[in-house]
A = this chain, B = another copy of it.
Amino acid sequence: MPGAVAGGLPPIEGTCAQTAALSLPSPSVSDALAQLKSRAERIQGLGAIASLLVWDQRTIMPPAGAMSRGGHIGLLQQLGHEELIDPEVGRLLDELRPLEESLDPDSDAAALIRVLRRDHDKAVRVPPELAAEMARAAAEAAPVWLEAKATSNFALFLPALERAVELRRRYIACFDPTDEPYDILLDDFEPETKSADVTRIFAEIKAELVPLIAELRDGETDDSFLSADFPIGPQIALGQEVVDLFGHRPDTWRIDPTEHPFASGTGIDDIRVTTHYYPDSLESLFSTMHEYGHGLYQHQVRRDIAHLPIGQASSLGIHESQSRLWENLVGRGLPFWRYFYPRLQARFPGQLGGVELDRFYAAINKVQPSLIRIRADEVTYGLHVILRFELEQDIVNGRVELSDLPRIWNERMEEYLGVEVPDDAHGVLQDVHWSAGLIGYFSTYLLGTVMSVQLWEKMAEEVPELDERVERGEFGAIREWLGERVHANGRKYPPQETLRRAVGTTIDAKPYLAYLRRKYGAPVAA
């Protein structure tokens, strides 16, 4: 054979079995902590992969791919659940209890054991059949809710809602009794937080907001120029400019269009925010700032724990504190617009070239009671959440008939915000959460908003010239402060402890209410 060489390597010298000896596990891999860590990495990895599948489905997947995508996401969830409830994980957690008690509770190892024990203990309470049934119910309810919302037909949605509530009751029954059954649902979204505490904070907020809104509702701020023609091309460039200005490491972020904005990603170096561009509004700009805040949280978790469950978010409320901080405290503040407004005008000279900064600033902060939560301004937003939180507790405690929800919804909208709900699509059917069985989720939006103000004020105490930095377009100090105080800890602590370590106290509505009074109590612009 041409080119062949006599006397080369002897043929097939290795043996199959020989290999095993090459890669014996190192001693450390065999200890219980390393084993638990390895399990934890798998669980977290499956979650990260599922996030990518969801992101892909909501942004770029060929639409027909939906037929198999649900099954693939379900498979990952099932595998993750199987890993988590594996009796071997329980055994490792038992074996590790003495070690955990001997460790500094702030250590990563202690936190890993603590967090995984929490997750394991909760997961084993729920029979796989119930978990599967909840997932199936959510999947089946999704198109029903879409149709019901599109046709404003609550009766169509009612059976799906009844099933979701029934399943949540069964879910509650899997756990030891608590003061409030609702506590068990809340704990999934805002760990170790009690309904009674939320009720107390929300009552304090409601007592201030209802009169404040009544006082502000007849303001005459002109915001008509925000409904102009804003071509998508410059909006895309603008969103990228804002994300790059707020800052991140290179080669780590994407922004993509989607129907309902969200932030996602597969790890600290793969952050994906999404937004929805409207051709007649700048809404996507503020929603991009919001999602930037979520993305930055995931981006700045400590690298050495980012692949573990302790490297995730502490709670939905803490997550929301990050998004609200960038959207509202930065993005609706005057210092930011002193810096950024000329840049915005340069992108839309025809639409905004003749609008002065003070008029623009007043317009983006206009208080206007309205029907839809996700489009509500900073002041009225809280009452949308409080209404839902109250209703959910009534639902879980059986104090309302589900068929009565539209009537009750509409009555409270009139009472809290003074608006009349024209149909259920703009009322009780507007949010996706209940169709997916997500009862107990809504309160985290307002808890996060409240905490965002606490964080901002603490930051303003500690970061010299905070407003001046923002006014110069410098955001590094904000990123660093949030990174050190909040992001780096990931999920090592429950949300109130996470907050306490950042600002010195647990949640407190007073700074939030003072901020709203200060910003909105008098006209925000001449």
Contacts and interface: CB of A to CB of B under 8 A. Distances in A.
Interface in A193-251: 249-251
A278 B15 CA distance: 46
Interface stretch (A43-51, A102-110, A365-373): A43-51
Residue among A75, A267, A270, A307 having the largest count of chain B Cβ atoms under 10 Å: A270
A15 B42 CA distance: 32
A480 interface: no
A173 B16 contact: yes
B52 A8 contact: no
A266 to B, nearest CB: 6
A48 B64 contact: no
Interface string A9-34: 11111111111101100000000000
Interface stretch (A313-321, A390-398, A432-440): A390-398
A20 B132 CA distance: 10
Interface in A240-271: 249-254, 265-267, 269-271
Interface stretch (A93-101, A399-407, A515-523): A399-407
Contacts of A53: 49, 52
A461 interface: no
A346 interface: no
Nearest to A387: B3
A251 B69 CA distance: 14
A524 interface: no
A71 B307 contact: yes
A9 B398 contact: yes
A402 B5 CA distance: 10
Contact of A14 (B11, B169, B397): B169
A216 B415 CA distance: 88
Contact of A62 (B14, B48, B170, B271): B271
Contact of A8 (B15, B251, B394, B412): B394
Interface stretch (A122-130, A349-357, A487-495, A504-512): A122-130
Contacts of A267: 65, 67-68
Nearest to A64: B269
Contact of A64 (B23, B69, B249): B249
Contact of A127 (B20, B69, B408): B20
Contacts of A60: 60, 254
Given A20-B129, A75-B45, A133-B23, A2 B62 contact: no
A60 B270 CA distance: 11
Given A10-B398, A56-B56, A20 B130 contact: yes
Contacts of A65: 252, 265-267, 269-270
Contact of A401 (B5, B11, B13): B5
Nearest to A250: B64
A72 B266 contact: yes
Interface string A415-434: 10000000000000000000
Given A4-B400, A11-B181, A14-B169, A72 B56 contact: no
Interface in A113-135: 125-127, 129-130, 132-133
A79 interface: yes
Given A169-B13, A251-B62, A48 B72 contact: yes
A172 interface: yes
Contacts of A169: 12-14
A499 interface: no
Interface of A: 1-5, 8-20, 22-23, 42, 45-46, 48-49, 52-53, 56, 60-65, 67-69, 71-72, 75-76, 79, 125-127, 129-130, 132-133, 166-167, 169-175, 181, 249-254, 265-267, 269-272, 307, 390, 394, 396-402, 404, 408, 411-412, 415
Q: Which 9 A-B pairs have the closest CB atoms?
A: A65-B270, A16-B174, A14-B170, A64-B269, A9-B398, A68-B267, A3-B408, A19-B130, A63-B251
Given A12-B169, A16-B175, 9 more contacts: A4-B394, A5-B401, A5-B408, A9-B398, A12-B173, A15-B173, A45-B71, A46-B75, A72-B266
21 contacts: A2-B415, A4-B400, A4-B408, A5-B401, A5-B408, A8-B394, A9-B401, A9-B402, A10-B398, A12-B181, A12-B398, A19-B129, A22-B133, A23-B132, A23-B133, A45-B72, A52-B56, A62-B270, A65-B266, A65-B269, A71-B307
